[in-house]
């Protein structure tokens, strides 16, 4: 693909954004390094990187700068001639993926504004897969940014911003002003020879689910765009500042909550069907945390901005404490919960949410390794959903919601439980699957979400980019390499499916679309990040030392 070869990834470093993040300095410094005019076919000795890691010379890092001091990483910034003997030959799938990604581009009045969810002409039912989904566009956007093509991303950000301003109604009920659409569709009117837009905020979606994640992804993408291009004018524009504030006003509003986590309805994220993910799902909390941190770095300090900044800082403080303390599980913590007393009253309660030990599911006792840990799916009164969710845990690492020790433990878990969480194709969206009676009750007998299929323990190749980013951030690129190798065995041959089924993710999903754009873009982003780890800065935030981890530490934190 011309895009792959011709683009050098050069950025206008002299006009860098004024995105100021005290906690993000290491990454900003990294991005300020002038990029060399390397071709995409540049040298990168990935093997030597894995070898170094295998030999134990790669340590988990909490500062991205320290990764660059590693000899193996330096090869990324080498001139092509200096290490020409290790010339990096792109996998043939890369060119194929770029072709497919470009075919998925949607134009509005001649300008690219996004990518279609799936380019699957063979599928009997198009449903809404011919639309541009906000969450689906994120990996596409990152691929374009990493390839030095920011225009489509800017157009997308502006177009969705306009849609945010639309009045949204479901029957006679009006949705909040700040809600961003789940998706939008461009249709061509051949008579008037013009393009028209329709957006879906949940009023047409199956089950009428509103996308809480869209607004968060929009803010995260705005920061990625700013970081990548150095163009801070977009984020600073009155329209974007207003857009951010509208999203924030929705999720920072006060209610009857006793927790800093955001109360959600089922199906409000990537898992957009009934799956027992209501209440305080980690999938949304991690995105909420990340979006708040991104907004903090982009909000203008005018009177209104200052007020939001103060509210965000308070919320982040409480949110990180709450999630790091109460969502965290490892061997020691599980043992503590197993021995919990119940019906404790007053401030001295240890079992604050009155979790009944009998409600701990059997599977977790075998699943929990001695080394490793993770953020569980949900915590609310008398309810802990112990399921593993890949997106929430990866975003927790990228946003530094997870402390460095917790990030290490999550990666340990992924290594220790590879068969269950990655299997033969990366990556399980959730683990384990709901079966039998539980499936009937929780999913409402959903035939698409039968056990080990789709959202219910299915495997989603798109998650590869999030996993790769988490691996790079924690200094374990060799694990990402292993996962990418698995994807390369099958993804293209199978026609880039939306998801796989089965305990090991071995079967192309029952109703999986082919040529699913985010499976394609997710692969490209993973490849580009591994090739040039400095891309990580777009989508990662360093630890904020002011947000202290809770005092209580259990076994896996101190390895």
Sequence-separated (6 or more) residues with CB below 8 Å from residue 469: 394, 398, 529, 536, 539, 540
Rule CB under 6 A: choose which of 100, 212, 270, 410 binds ligand GLC: 270
Rule CB under 6 A: choose which of 45, 120, 272, 405 binds ligand GLC: 272
Smallest separation (angstroms) from ligand GLC to the CB of 403? 29
Letter string b/e over residues 179-191, b meaning 16 or more CB atoms within 10 A of that residue's CB: bbbbbbbbeeeee
Smaller CB separation from ligand GLC, 211 or 373: 211
Q: Of the listed pieces 128-136, 355-363, 375-383, 423-431, which binds ligand GLC according to CB under 6 A?
A: 128-136
Cα gap 419→426, rounded to integer Å: 10
Smaller CB separation from ligand GLC, 117 or 286: 117
Rule CB under 6 A: choose which of 38, 94, 117, 179 binds ligand GLC: 117
Cα gap 202→197, rounded to integer Å: 16
Total chain residues near ligand GLC (CB under 6 A): 6
Smallest separation (angstroms) from ligand GLC to the CB of 522? 12
Burial class (CB in 10 A: 0-12, 13-18, 19+), 133: buried
Burial class (CB in 10 A: 0-12, 13-18, 19+), 368: buried
Q: Of the listed pieces 133-141, 162-170, 465-473, 545-553, which binds ligand GLC according to CB under 6 A?
A: 133-141
Q: Of the listed pieces 80-88, 129-137, 157-165, 409-417, which binds ligand GLC according to CB under 6 A?
A: 129-137
Q: How many CB atoms neighbour CB 79 within 10 A?
A: 12
Smallest separation (angstroms) from ligand GLC to the CB of 184? 12
Rg (CA), the chain: 22
Smallest separation (angstroms) from ligand GLC to the CB of 282? 16
Q: How many CB atoms neighbour CB 345 within 10 A?
A: 7
Pairing of strands 132-133, 183-189: antiparallel
Smaller CB separation from ligand GLC, 270 or 466: 270
Cα gap 483→501, rounded to integer Å: 17
Question: Is 135 near ligand GLC (CB under 6 A)?
Answer: yes
Smaller CB separation from ligand GLC, 136 or 531: 136
Smaller CB separation from ligand GLC, 134 or 364: 134
Smaller CB separation from ligand GLC, 284 or 364: 284
Question: Is 133 near ligand GLC (CB under 6 A)?
Answer: yes
Q: How many CB atoms neighbour CB 2 within 10 A?
A: 9
Smallest separation (angstroms) from ligand GLC to the CB of 272? 5
Smallest separation (angstroms) from ligand GLC to the CB of 434? 16
Select from 209, 202, 212, 153 the least CA-distant residue to 178.
212
Q: Are 288 and 218 in contact (CB under 8 A)?
A: no
Sites for ligand GLC among residues 75-94 (CB under 6 A): none
Smaller CB separation from ligand GLC, 214 or 320: 214
Question: Is 46 near ligand GLC (CB under 6 A)?
Answer: no
Smaller CB separation from ligand GLC, 483 or 521: 521
Smallest separation (angstroms) from ligand GLC to the CB of 224? 18
Q: Are 277 and 266 in contact (CB under 8 A)?
A: yes
Largest CA distance in the chain: 71
HEC string of 125-163? CCCCCCCEEHHHHHHHHHHHHHCCCCHHHHHHHHHHHHH
Smaller CB separation from ligand GLC, 405 or 446: 446
Instruction: List residues binding ligand GLC (CB under 6 A).
Output: 117, 133, 135-136, 270, 272
């Amino acid at each position: 693909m011309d895009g792959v070869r011709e683009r050098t990834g050069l950025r206008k470093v002299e006009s860098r954004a004024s995105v100021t993040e005290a906690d993000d300095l290491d990454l900003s410094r990294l991005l300020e390094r002038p990029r060399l005019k390397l071709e995409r076919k540049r040298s990168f000795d990935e093997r030597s990187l894995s070898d170094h890691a295998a030999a134990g010379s790669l340590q988990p890092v909490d500062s991205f700068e320290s990764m660059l001091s590693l000899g193996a990483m330096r090869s990324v910034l080498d001139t092509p001639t200096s290490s020409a003997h290790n010339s990096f030959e792109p996998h043939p799938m890369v060119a194929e993926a770029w072709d497919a990604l470009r075919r998925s581009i949607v134009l509005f009045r001649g300008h690219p504004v996004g990518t279609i969810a799936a380019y699957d002409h063979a599928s009997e039912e198009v449903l809404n897969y011919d639309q541009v989904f906000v969450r689906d566009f994120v990996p596409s956007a990152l691929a374009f940014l990493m390839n030095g093509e920011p225009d489509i991303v800017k157009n997308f950000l502006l177009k969705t911003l306009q849609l945010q301003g639309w009045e949204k109604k479901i029957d006679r009920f009006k949705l909040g002003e700040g809600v961003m659409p789940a998706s939008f569709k461009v249709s061509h009117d051949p008579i008037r020879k013009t393009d028209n837009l329709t957006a879906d905020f949940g009023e047409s979606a199956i089950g009428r689910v509103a996308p809480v994640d869209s607004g968060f992804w929009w803010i995260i993408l705005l920061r990625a765009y700013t970081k990548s291009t150095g163009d801070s004018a977009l984020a600073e524009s009155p329209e974007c500042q207003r857009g951010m504030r509208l999203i924030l006003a929705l999720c920072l509003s006060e209610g009857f909550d006793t927790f800093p986590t955001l109360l959600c309805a089922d199906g409000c994220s990537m898992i957009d069907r009934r799956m027992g993910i209501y209440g305080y799902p980690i999938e949304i909390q991690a995105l909420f945390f990340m979006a708040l941190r991104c907004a903090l770095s982009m909000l203008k300090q005018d009177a209104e901005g200052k007020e939001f900044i103060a509210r965000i800082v308070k919320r982040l403080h409480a949110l990180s404490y709450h999630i790091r303390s109460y969502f965290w599980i490892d061997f020691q913590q599980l043992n503590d919960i197993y021995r919990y007393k119940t019906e404790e009253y007053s401030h001295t309660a240890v079992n604050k949410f009155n979790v009944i030990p009998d409600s701990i599911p059997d599977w977790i006792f075998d699943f929990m390794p001695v080394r490793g840990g993770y953020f569980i799916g949900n915590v609310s009164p008398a309810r802990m959903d112990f399921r593993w969710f890949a997106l929430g845990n990866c975003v927790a690492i990228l946003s530094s919601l997870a402390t460095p020790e917790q990030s290490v433990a999550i990666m340990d878990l992924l290594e220790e439980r590879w068969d269950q969480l990655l299997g033969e194709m990366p990556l399980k969206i959730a683990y384990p699957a709901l079966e039998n009676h539980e499936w009937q009750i929780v999913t409402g007998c959903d035939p698409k979400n039968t056990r080990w299929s789709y959202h219910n323990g299915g495997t989603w190749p798109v998650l590869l980019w999030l996993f790769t980013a988490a691996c790079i951030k924690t200094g374990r690129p060799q694990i990402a390499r292993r996962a990418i190798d698995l994807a390369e065995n099958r993804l293209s041959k199978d026609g880039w499916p939306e998801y796989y089924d089965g305990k090991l993710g071995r079967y192309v999903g029952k109703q999986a679309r082919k040529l699913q754009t985010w499976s394609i873009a997710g692969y490209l982003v993973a490849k580009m990040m591994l090739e040039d780890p400095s891309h990580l800065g777009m989508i990662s935030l360093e630890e904020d030392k002011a947000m202290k981890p809770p005092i209580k530490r259990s076994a896996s934190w101190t390895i």
